[in-house]
Amino acid sequence: MTRHQWHAVTALAAMTTLPAAVANAALTASSSGSALDANIVLNGQTLSLPSVGLAAGSAPPAYDVALPAASYSKSAGTSSGSFTVNASAKTVVDTANSKTATTASIMATASSSIGSLSTTLISKTFGTVLTVTGTKIASKASFKLTKAGVGSSAGTTKITKLTINAPLLGINNVTFAGEPSINQVIYQNTGKTITIYLNAQTVTKAGSKETSIKVDAVDVHVANFSVAGNTVSGDIEIGSCIAN
């Protein structure tokens, strides 16, 4: 599921106007963290790399899930074999947990930590189209809900080093190191068909009340970009955390 699809997700509704019997029901929370998601459409063909290292849980009862991996290597391609995405990483830890801060509230958190990462998008015709490499990429999302139905969220991202190259797409050695601001853009082409976000945060609301948050440490977002007769759309998301 991409960052933008989460705009349509309904999480926990506000409870301030609900009957007392409903308002007094047990509070619930959930969260998930994954190292990598890729969902790309190329000329109508879908290339999807499912969540890597997905840690998830829901409460009650309280949960604490950690999925560490020394390394992973994943690949996915279009049905025609014209495009392939390859991803490999080392020292990966994805977590999800919840706790009841008080009897009047509940909190869920998720995190993703990647020691080193290499992701490539390869075209059978053009060769390597996109390369993303990085070290020590970490993200975290948290969501707190009170008995009164008031939700609050927070998210963070830290990156020791990130380098993105895609000459065919006009991206040449874009780099970053540090703690990016929320939805920081480190690259966008003139037509705004390619945007690279860091600390990409999507907060979902029901009315004026927050119900969930999704944080992507890195989101390479492509919207109907045309190159050499090919139309490309989709997202490659690195370090994805969801809490609601």
Q: What is the pLDDT of residues 18-59, one digit of tens each?
A: 344 434 557 899 999 999 888 888 778 888 887 777 899 999
User: pTM of the full predicted structure?
Assistant: 0.85
The tally of domains found in the chain comes to 1
DSSP string spanning 213-227?
EEEEEEEEEEEEEEE
pLDDT digits (tens, 9 = 90+) for 162-174: 999 998 888 999 9
What pLDDT score was predicted for residue 228? 67
Note down the domain range covering 166: 4-243
Instruction: Find out whether 77 and 8 touch, Cβ atoms under 8 Å.
Output: no
- Per-chain mean pLDDT for the chain: 86
Nearest CA to 236 out of 74, 17, 27, 11 is that of: 74
What pLDDT score was predicted for residue 1? 44
Confidence tier at 102 by pLDDT (50, 70, 90): low
> In angstroms, rounded to a whole number, what is the distance separating the alpha carbons of residues 118 and 116?
7
> In angstroms, rounded to a whole number, what is the distance separating the alpha carbons of residues 19 and 17?
7
Q: Which two tokens stand for residue 86?
A: 């390859």
pLDDT digits (tens, 9 = 90+) for 183-242: 999 999 998 999 999 999 999 999 889 999 999 999 999 898 887 677 888 899 999 999
Residue percentage of the chain with pLDDT more than 90: 57
What pLDDT score was predicted for residue 25? 59
What pLDDT score was predicted for residue 169? 82
Instruction: Find out whether 187 and 193 touch, Cβ atoms under 8 Å.
Output: no
